[in-house]
Amino acid sequence: MFLMATIQTVFGSRAFLTQLQTKQAAPTLLLKPESHGLDYMLLDSTGRGQFTLPFKYNVLATRGELQKKNYVHMMYFNLAADQEAIFVAQMKTFFDAYEQFPHITGLTLMRLDAKQIQFVLMSSWVSGSDFFALKSTPAFAPLNKFMNRAADQLGFHENGYRVIDPDDDQN
């Protein structure tokens, strides 16, 4: 479950990212935002993609895998240094409960490769409603605490995406 790897993300328009995706030797996934007005995301789960200014994340833990057509939920936690160890311990508890989450297909905890302490929890689901159903359960309690703490201090935000086929104009 705990390992060291790199994931990269790049944000932009669908047209730009689709063009960028065709130039990559490493496999990438195109993610369409669920909320209007947000940028699309190109996700490189290998860390080998060639990008000018990607966001690079060190993978701390992972379960399952991201699959095509999945709903992907990204949660960004900006934390103070004294919260880091507590957060990681709570995430271990969350990962230990992975098998209890209905319709989850993947869960990854990452830390931004920068001085700023930012953790990203990426989860993938059969549908977005599966993620939102989990938010109302006791299993989600460790995350609620840090969502509120990060929002009150250095920042928290979350976005939902759908993995799409760049060649399918229906997405």
Tens digit of each residue's pLDDT, the chain (171 residues):
445 599 999 999 999 999 999 998 888 999 999 999 999 999 998 888 889 889 999 999 999 987 777 899 999 999 888 889 989 998 998 899 898 888 999 999 999 988 888 999 999 999 989 998 888 888 888 788 888 877 777 788 899 999 998 877 666
Predicted confidence at residue 9, as pLDDT, reads 96
The reported pLDDT for the residue numbered 75 is 94
Per the CB < 8 A criterion, the answer to whether 163 and 70 are in contact is: yes
SS3 helix, strand, coil % of the chain, rounded to 5? 30, 40, 35
How high is the pLDDT of residue 154? 72
Q: Which domains does the chain have, with CATH numbers?
A: 2-164 (3.30.70.100)
| 145 neighbors 83 (Cβ within 8 angstroms) | no
Cα four-point dihedral sign 20, 77, 38, 33: positive
* Predicted local confidence at residue 29, as pLDDT: 93
pTM of the predicted structure, to 2 decimals: 0.89
pLDDT at 171: 62
pLDDT at 119: 94
pLDDT of residue 2: 46
Which positions ≥6 away from 48 have C-beta within 8 Å? 25, 26
